[in-house]
Structure 1
């Protein structure tokens, strides 16, 4: 599957020079902090093999778990119904009666602002005959949910407040629990999480490792400026693994080598399946033939920071620090960088939230990518691309690779509709379309008779962790679940 995004960089795709002193132990690297740093920038307290003593077993993985039935029923029973899931964003629930719909596999949920400062969540199903109460994506200012089939009504906290023609039902019917079935919900830092477990792992315990870093981005000040869902002919786990390693960057995204170190970056691993990579931007990949001269990509980043590239007198190795200083002093996006470390100002901080979310985090905006199973077909999955930003200076936009259209409203005045797209023509950025190509061909390749297993390098430890944590759920070995 070759697209324009694949062909455009053919000349530089494989022009790499060998990296000297390739890291045998990626977990050992700590990016040098700038003058302004924070504890959450440091290394994680535990190594991957301390969290998962059997992690070496995940260097060779059978292809069967990515194709065919691909554990679909087992995942629905033991994963999706047990763990915490990122359902949406508090900016979509600004006032009482605002709601949005969240679907995960065959399950559909309603998340609603049921009172000021309070969020409720329920299964999206009427207790009469099973009709879905809401079919749309969002609503505003509701005072109740009314089934369009027989007009049963439920208030914002899920209580049944109307059984139409109540006297026509026998007593034993009306003695049943006719309220909506609730699910656990937590609003935190501008994000809305849900869990369908009877007794989930406590929220603060589940996300403890990543919470300090996530809090620093003040996501509660952000709002959605793009939401796109693409249906991909591949299992959700294949989609997830495409974004759970940077080993692919030099070949899939060759243009990034001019402005990103794709090998010497920071790995950190946390309990409960979460992890992160910290990618230094504003510097040249060690794979690129010329690591000294300021190339066109670095010159653009200097200008974006309010600096004149023509007046910059250093070489490429000093650009990253110059950008950090320039942004603090010039505030080119109209935001104050107090509260962010120097490295956060330039770098791509990329956490994974188990089981199905990755984020590319910047002070100006965050790209949220969520991977969801298809409700009926295990060989299809949904790839959600959601862009958050905060109010920036007039004319300024989130990072370009996030794919926000030039005519999109980024002021927060209007919330964009959810877009749905087939995989062969998505309205997305060039960078993300390059990844989409890989999703499709990886899934097709794993069906080959010439392949029975895949092998994972130590640069792909995040995939190893993802599969190890997934197996704890599927094999009933995850502690703290009910």
Structure 2
């Protein structure tokens, strides 16, 4: 492979350095099948129109067409562990009460009283209740959504024979997550994700993890711009120069799976191909152990003659994580310990299933301002060996001017990386609005996730507005 594209078909060009799969194949502990695979698809080279980022009417169309028809992760199951536990999920003007009922089922009730529309539970709230009572006039529903009480029912004789249960979105549970979809006709969650990505998701066993750190921050940029800042490693050299000496950025791997899932694999413990002449194997070790980018807490492993820094790092990470989690990781591959595996589940979820940095990102648009996004970062750990599930972390909400590094429990070096990613968003949103150009130009390979994501946005935006049928939503 080389950088000369004249003899290559569109989408075939790759950086001439060793590929991600070649790096992984040299590891001592072999990669699982879901990691040792590729699934790239060329999706065209046309510019992507900028209206989707800057036009408030486009955002209105998304709320009418896209959001009601897609599967969204609303919370972890351990947010509602017992009957009566509830968690309110808000998405723009939509709001749902995620509640576990007396039978152990999880419901997603529309958060609106059938009397005069008052929200039954405040936005972004959670707690415990044995019924769902409207604070305005006291209409009350059971946890399963059936009507419990209408005060002064003598004055509502005209409701006899009507369905008075709370409307519900569809709910599925997968990998320890609760997912909802407002559309009764949407495909099942498994069909939506697709067979190949489902195979990957099941292999990670995320149901055996819990969230120990949850941080939220809002940004003055469109939700899609904010998501797309995390979809490629092409930006690493200029945005995160401190990690380039130990990160395979421009030879990262990109894959797509159907309409709704894509990923990249970015290798660690190797120098950026752009810096090969400037850094040695010993320099890679030093990058991990010095300064804000350190991942080893000040510990510096010894690099012996002829050893690869990547393998030394993998061995040390294995020992560190085994000690920290009191688990046996001898069966875990080196790539799972070291590398960044980033999966997008359309429309707004990122899963990072690796061992070293298992994370969740979620992005939600602000219905009142198409230039504003709610961004959440959640970090996971394995559940204790005794099978218990620790209490999920409370959400820490940062102000606009705060750094991610200020969040309690956040690694300062990683907080700085998140700040660098999101600091670009201010200039990008304003630059697009100032631009004389009608769209953005994307790399065929390194930015395939952005193109794949926007093609799926276009697919939903071509549909008619979703019109909920309350009779069907009430069962």
| 1:397-427 per-position Cα deviation (integer Å, ceiling 9, x unaligned) | xxxxxxxxxxxxxx97544332333322244
Q: What CA distance in whole angstroms lies between the structure 1 residues aligned with 2:299 and 2:4?
A: 34
Deviations 1:268-315 (A, max 9, x none): 2100231111111122212232143334223479x9779974533146
What residue number does 1:444 align with? 430
| d(CA) in 2 for partners of 1:451, 1:246 | 24
> Equivalent residue for 1:388?
380
- Structure 1 stretch 214-223 or stretch 255-264: which is displaced more? 214-223
Contact 1:227 1:385 in 2 (8 A): yes
Unaligned runs of 5+ in 2: 6-11, 406-414, 470-475
Cα distance in 2 for residues equivalent to 1:306 and 1:256: 16
Tell me the residue number matched to 1:400: none
- SS at 1:372 equivalent: strand
In structure 2, the partner of 1:161 is 148
Cα distance in 1 for partners of 2:362, 2:159 equals 40
Q: 2:329 aligns with which of 314, 337, 341?
A: 337
Alignment of 1:293-312 (within 5 A): 293-294=282-283, 295-299=285-289, 309=300, 311-312=302-303
CA contact (8 A) 1:306 1:332 kept: no
Name the counterpart of 2:398: 421
Deviation at 1:354, TM superposition (A): 0.9
Looking at structure 1, the residues matched to 400 and 75 of structure 2 have their Cα atoms a distance apart, in angstroms, of 23
Distance 2:362 2:431 in 1: 23
Assess if the C-alpha contact under 8 Å between 1:267 and 1:277 holds in 2.
Answer: yes
Distance 1:322 1:149 in 2: 63
**Per-residue deviation, residues 15-65 of structure 1 (Å, max 9, x unmatched):** xxxx98898147986353343332212324x5423xxxxx215x4122222
Q: Say yes or no: does 1:432 pair with 2:426.
A: no
Task: Work out whether residues 19 and 252 of structure 2, in 8 Å CA contact, stay in contact via their aligned partners in 1.
Answer: no
Between the aligned partners of 2:303 and 2:4, the Cα distance in structure 1 is 30
Contact 1:285 1:291 (C-alpha < 8 Å) held by counterparts: no
Is the aligned partner of 1:347 residue 2:339? yes
Deviation at 1:232? 1.4
Q: 1:322 and 1:426, CA in 2 relative to 1: closer, same or farther beyond 3 A?
A: closer
Give a deviation string over 1:322-343, Cα, whole Å, max 9, x none. 3333444662323322553331
User: Would you say 1:39 and 2:33 are equivalent positions?
Assistant: yes
Number of the residue aligned with 1:215: 202
CA shift for structure 1 position 96? 1.8
Task: Give 3-state SS (helix, strand or coil) of 1:227's partner.
Answer: strand
Task: Kindly report the root-mean-square deviation, in angstroms, between the aligned alpha carbons of the 2 structures.
Answer: 3.0
What aligned pairs does 1:19-418 form with structure 2 within 5 A after superposition? Answer: 24-25=13-14, 30-31=21-22, 32-33=24-25, 34=27, 35-44=29-38, 46-49=39-42, 55-57=43-45, 59-69=46-56, 71-115=58-102, 117-135=104-122, 137-169=124-156, 171-208=157-194, 209-288=196-275, 289-294=278-283, 295-299=285-289, 309=300, 311-314=302-305, 318-328=308-318, 331-333=322-324, 334-337=326-329, 340-363=332-355, 365-391=357-383, 413-418=390-395
Separation (CA, whole Å) in 2 of partners of 1:123 and 1:434: 37
In structure 1, what is the Cα distance between the partners aligned to 2:40 and 2:435?
A: 36
Following superposition, the deviation at residue 199 of structure 1 comes to 1.4
- Report if the CA contact (8 A) 1:337-1:363 is conserved: no
Are residues 366 and 306 of structure 1, via their aligned partners in 2, closer, same or farther at CA, if it must alter by over 3 Å? Answer: closer
Q: 1:310 to 1:276 in 2, by over 3 A?
A: closer
Give yes or no for contact 2:54–2:432 (8 Å, CA) kept in 1.
yes
Q: 1:306–1:341: structure 2 CA closer, same or farther, 3 Å change rule?
A: farther
Structure 1 residues 223 and 261: CA distance shift in structure 2, 3 A: same
Counterpart CA distance in 1 for 2:308 and 2:286 is: 15
Inter-partner Cα distance in structure 2 for 1:267 and 1:283: 18
Deviations 1:333-372 (A, max 9, x none): 2332255333111111111111112233322552211111
Q: Could you say if the C-alpha distance between residues 283 and 454 of structure 1 is closer, same or farther in structure 2, counting changes exceeding 3 Å? A: same
Match of 1:14 in 2: none
TM-score (norm 2): 0.83
| Post-superposition offset of 1:70 | 5.0
| Gap change, CA 1:446 and 1:191, over 3 Å in 2 | same
- Measure how far apart 1:168 and its partner are: 1.8
Taking the aligned partners of 1:306 and 1:105, their CA distance within structure 2 comes to 40
In structure 2, C-alpha distance between the alignment counterparts of 1:374 and 1:310, rounded to whole Å: 46
**Displacement of 1:254:** 0.9
